[in-house]
Amino acid sequence: QPGSTSPEEICMPGTSVMTVHTLIKEDMPTDWTMKLDLKKLEPFPMKVPCLNGVGSCPYELCPIIENMGDTLCPSFPENQPCGCPILAGDLNIKDLQVSVPDMGLLGDLMEGRYEATATFYSKATPDNILACMNLSFSLQKC
């Protein structure tokens, strides 16, 4: 089901407040994985590679949710236990505080506009796409 995310501009370093709202039609598996395909749009289009687990990489979501429980759980809706599986229903995560680190010398290179496609699937059955989402945002040094 189509969903929405915010914000569109992200400061680095800093804390970004994010909201995610979508309808989940079936419980997500405990090996829920997101493959992120990230593309930098300027000064010329370029696919962002996967480097040390950051960028255009697969991300196992359940361990991320478990490891970030202190940050994530307060933003989960009352009907959704903070953990996996993510249950079917309206998922509206509000005011999630996401820390954006100082990228050091890479900050200048990372600044700019991006498009991303996030594809969600079970690690056991990667050909069975459960959901996908298109994102656009910009990273700014602040």
Reported as a single tens digit per residue, the pLDDT across 27-60 is 999 999 999 999 999 888 999 999 888 899 999 9
Q: What is the pLDDT of residues 83-125, one digit of tens each?
A: 899 998 888 888 888 888 887 877 888 899 999 999 999 999 9
* Interior angle at CA 84, CA 88 and CA 13, nearest 5: 105
One-letter amino acid at 130 equals L
* Interior angle at CA 115, CA 111 and CA 116, nearest 5: 115
pTM, to two decimals: 0.81
